[in-house]
Structure 1
Amino acid sequence: MNISYTELARQMSQQADGRWGLTIPAGWMQGRTTYGGLSAALCYLAIERQFADLPPLRSAQINFIGPAGGAVQISSEILRQGRSVSYIEARMQGEKGLATHGVFCFGASRESKMDQIFTDFPDLPSPDESSSFFRDGFEPSFTQNFEIRLALGGRPVSGSPHSEHFMWVRHRDTNSTDTSALIAVADMPPPAVLPMFTEPAPISSMTWMMNFIQTEPTTENGWWLLRSAAEHAADGYSSQDMTIWNSSGELILTGRQSIAIFY
């Protein structure tokens, strides 16, 4: 039986040297490394536990530097703490060295004349009206932790002409509802060009940037609508745009990712 995200978060404990440690189970692996969404989520969780009274998370920049599995340790450090904005670094170390590096930006709210959303919620089938995303044999180990429904686009390695897809995703663990759990969901979609592949080939996320639109993101029944759209693919690399809405249509998160493709 796989360990849920809630249980993994509970198991992460502070060590004598001040770092946070835990062992990543096989069910959260993506090939030979920890699933990137989990790595980023645990980096954020270590910061949240290390530093009290932080303002809301506004943005994060994640670098996936090397593989990590099994025992990992996470350290964090304040880079700058101003009157309204704080930058905090997190570093996940594995047996082979630095695996994930993140810089998280926290910012207090201020009065503003601006209060607008410029990105529309797409008119798409609901989770109940959508079909399973993966075909048999193409599910990485970590995907067993999520329910995934394809609302629009192609399935992985199907020779699809589409470089944009929309999917509904939620944790199977219904207790995973905080911001760190959202980060764990946010990286779930495979690269937007993967449906265009006609045969399996390795892929690897290199960088990931997220902007958090809501200070206390919530959704009904755990479902989030995730959009991934490739903007470029050449020379073994692809860049893509990413968006997340909750089930009520509120814009929750925007992001970008740079990916290495071996196809």
Structure 2
Amino acid sequence: MSVSDLLEPLTGNSGPVTLTAADDWMQGRTLYGGASALIAYTEAIRAFPDLPPLRSAQVAFIAPVGESFEPRVEMVRSGRNVTQVRSELLVEGKPALSVLLVFGTEREPNAVFPAPKVDPWPGSPEEAEPVPEPKGRHFISNYEIRRAQDTSGPGFPLVRRWFRLKTDPGLDAVSHLILVGDTLPPGSMRAMQRQGPLSSINWTINILDPQVQTRDGWWLAETASDHADHGYSSERLRLWNADGDLVMVGMQAAAIFG
């Protein structure tokens, strides 16, 4: 199922929605976080088509989201420069995913500090070693993934990978970032003492350039745990384009089971 097929049933209006062939974007019992967040974002911009560019979003993964849900979009506040919209996906009448989206017009800058390039540079994605696909049907099968760090297995809780979608999703820049930004597992997986499942609880992102572009669809992603204990991990996420320019940053709380 292509990304355009996934988004085609969305109208921005209330009422039940059923996705066809959503299995291609599932992660266990629920839609992959980037896909469900993109659905909520798409409902918002279709409900309010004149919004300025997205600058930030706070996503709460409350319960599993499957192929059937009901969207609910609400204008929280529309100011002179910043507009905030809440977009939720309801399952059996209760919120399963809730997103607060912050849109903002571009203004004359009063502070300029370009983010530094990625360091250390992992080498180009074209030269990197491919990562084998997981067995079975899984959302990650939509991606081509390559290594971007020398270490593997248990160790320091940081994961870096080059990746790109196997087919052009035909999305605008912001929608593309939302879809791919939650692709990697938490960095804390490298610190786990025994194998077990991990689950994202929330996801906060800041988009640095709403018009960002990259080469041949390649992105460099990093997830890293700042602290893991008591069954939870505080994760830091960064996303660069193929030239090493930082394009999105985020944080996430992850539940560590097992």
TM-score, reference length from structure 2 = 0.91
Offset of residue 136 of structure 1: 4.7
Match of 2:130 among 124, 132, 138: 132
Contact 2:12/2:45 (<8 A) preserved: no
The two structures, once aligned, show a CA RMSD in angstroms of 2.0
Q: CA distance change for structure 1 residues 203 and 134 in 2, over 3 Å: closer, same or farther?
A: farther
Q: Provide the C-alpha distance between the structure 2 equivalents of 1:214 and 1:80, rounded to a whole number of angstroms.
A: 23
Opposite residue 222 of structure 1, the aligned amino acid is: G
Contact 1:32 1:67 in 2 (8 A): yes
**Counterpart in the other structure of 1:150:** 147
Asked if 1:190 corresponds to 2:164, the answer is no
Q: Give the Cα–Cα distance (whole angstroms) in 2 for the partners of residues 70 and 251 of structure 1.
A: 33
Change (3 A) 1:127 1:107: same
Structure 1 residues 64, 219: CA separation in 2 closer, same or farther (over 3 Å shift)?
same
Structure 2: gaps of 5 or more residues: none
Change (3 A) 1:219 1:19: farther
Secondary structure of the structure 2 residue equivalent to 1:132: coil
Quote the residue 2:80 is aligned against.
83
How far residue 154 of structure 1 moved from its aligned partner, in angstroms, is 4.9
> Distance in 1 between the 2:193 and 2:124 partners?
28
| AA matched with 1:117 | P
How many residues in Structure 1 have an aligned counterpart in Structure 2? 255
Give the counterpart of 2:58 among 57, 61, 64: 61
1:233 paired to 2:231: no
For 2:75, the aligned partner's letter is I
State the identity %. 33
Say yes or no: does 1:224 pair with 2:245: no
Residue 119 of structure 1: which of 116, 123, 126 is its match? Answer: 116
Q: Which runs of 5+ in 1 are unaligned?
A: none
Q: Alpha-carbon deviation of 1:145?
A: 1.2
Confirm or deny: 8 A CA contact 2:70 2:90 kept in the other structure.
Answer: yes
TM-score by length of structure 1 reads 0.89
Alignment of 1:208-219 (within 5 A): 208-219=203-214
Give how far 1:34 is off. 1.1
User: How far, CA to CA, are the matches of 1:132 and 1:262 in structure 2?
Assistant: 28
TM-superposed CA distance for 1:140, in Å, is 6.7
**Preserved CA contact (<8 Å) 2:77 2:83:** yes
